[in-house]
């Protein structure tokens, strides 16, 4: 008799439709891996903020926040899924609470160093499993996988989560990041196979 899989927000046994599991975790990004000094790294929360200002977060501030771990696979829209990663970091909801958006600013652009960005909805950022990750499988992120910090949105395709995260900005209108400008889906939920803009 098959044993019951563990219940949880991101069940490790569920592979979204159209994905194949790969056991080797090869980094996937465009351009070179940036060499970022962790002590100098900063993340800026800006755009349509409730107080009209911007908030800058550094590593020390992150270390003072609650550290959580979330088990989640990584689903690349190109159809490979890296299973069973254990991400560690701070909840994006906790970061947003430090610098909340103006009422009605439901759109967010997530930007990395060197031009990469992705467009997401505020509600996807606020999901309980959404993290600014600094660790994976108990170790600090490697440079190629996003050190010092990357955005992890487990229910969305991987392209929604910039590695080498640098900025979170709030907007009243939908945004387009790197892949959204190239025909990929504005929402990007993996379970619903939201890959392409024409599906929206």
Ligand X SMILES: Nc1nc2c(c(=O)[nH]1)N[C@H]1C(S)=C(S)[C@@H](COP(=O)(O)O)O[C@H]1N2
41's contact among ligand X, Mo ion, none, with CB below 5 to 8 A by partner kind, is: none
Nearest-angstrom CA–CA distance, 146 and 36: 10
Which region, judged by CB under 5 A, interacts with Mo ion, from 2-10, 74-82, 105-113, 191-199?
74-82
At which residue do the structure tokens 């467009």 appear? 119
Is 162 an interacting residue with respect to Mo ion (CB under 5 A)?
A: no
29's contact among ligand X, Mo ion, none, with CB below 5 to 8 A by partner kind, is: ligand X
The tokens for 47 are 């755009």
Give 21-40 as a 3 state SS string: ECCCCCCCCCCCCCCCCCCC
> Minimum Å distance from CB 82 to ligand X?
6
Residues found near ligand X in the complex (CB under 6 A): 27-30, 74, 76, 112, 116, 145, 158-159, 161-164
> Minimum Å distance from CB 56 to Mo ion?
28
Is 158 an interacting residue with respect to Mo ion (CB under 5 A)?
A: yes
Nearest-angstrom CA–CA distance, 161 and 177: 11
Residue nearest to Mo ion (CB): 76
Nearest-angstrom CA–CA distance, 128 and 65: 15
> Minimum Å distance from CB 9 to ligand X?
20
Is 179 an interacting residue with respect to Mo ion (CB under 5 A)?
A: no
User: Which helix (DSSP H) or strand (DSSP E) does residue 62 occupy?
Assistant: helix 59-63
Q: Between 88 and 162, name the residue whose CB sits nearer to ligand X.
A: 162
Nearest-angstrom CA–CA distance, 71 and 87: 6
Q: What is the dihedral of CA 156, 160, 161, 166, to 10 degrees?
A: -150
Contacting residue, 159, 164, 170, 184, with Mo ion by CB under 5 A:
159
Q: State the residues that interact with Mo ion by CB under 5 A.
A: 76, 158-159
């Amino acid at each position: 008799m098959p044993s019951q899989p563990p219940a949880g927000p991101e069940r490790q046994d569920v592979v979204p439709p159209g994905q194949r599991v790969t056991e080797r975790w090869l980094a996937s990004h465009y351009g070179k891996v940036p060499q970022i000094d962790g002590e100098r790294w900063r993340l800026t929360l800006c755009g349509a903020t409730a107080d009209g200002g911007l908030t800058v977060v550094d590593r020390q501030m992150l270390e003072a926040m609650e550290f959580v771990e979330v088990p989640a696979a990584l689903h690349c829209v190109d159809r490979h899924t890296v299973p069973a990663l254990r991400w560690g970091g701070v909840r994006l909801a906790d970061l947003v609470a430090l610098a909340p958006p103006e009422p009605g600013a439901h759109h967010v652009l997530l930007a990395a160093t060197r031009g990469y960005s992705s467009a997401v909805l505020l509600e996807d950022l606020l999901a309980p499993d959404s993290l600014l990750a600094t660790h994976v499988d108990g170790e600090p992120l490697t440079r190629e996988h996003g050190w010092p910090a990357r955005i992890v949105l487990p229910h969305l395709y991987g392209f929604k989560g910039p590695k080498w995260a640098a900025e979170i900005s709030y907007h009243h209108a939908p945004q387009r990041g790197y892949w959204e400008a190239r025909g990929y889906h504005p929402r990007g939920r993996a379970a619903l196979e939201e890959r392409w803009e024409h599906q929206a």
